[in-house]
Amino acid sequence: MGGRGPDRFVIDSLASGVDTIRDFRTRERDVLDLSELITDYDGTPANHVRLTGSGGVVQVEVDVDGGGNSFVPAVTVRGDMGLDVTSLVAAGTIVLT
């Protein structure tokens, strides 16, 4: 999954288990698109996405209806994404809408 240059990783279902994205590179403008999962965006990125982990392995959890009260695992991202949800959404690296 993913190669040199920009890749767009679209997560469109939570039903098929948690996949792993390898080689996610923000400097290549790789994008993680979660918009198909978000049913009711509440305007606050951190209410919809929680990033945990470190060392280049990030667990991505999603709260599809916002509020930050019902996170479920969505995908694991290996690479250089980091953990700053607000900045990643502002930069367009993580797409919620």
Query: Are the C-beta atoms of 30 and 6 separated by less than 8 Å?
Result: yes
**Min CB(33)–Ca ion separation in Å:** 14
Of 1-60, binders to Ca ion (CB under 5 A) are: 2, 7, 25, 28, 30
CA distance 38 to 62: 8
**Min CB(74)–Ca ion separation in Å:** 13
Burial class (CB in 10 A: 0-12, 13-18, 19+), 42: middle
**Min CB(3)–Ca ion separation in Å:** 6
Binding site for Ca ion (CB under 5 A): 2, 7, 25, 28, 30, 63, 65, 67, 69-70
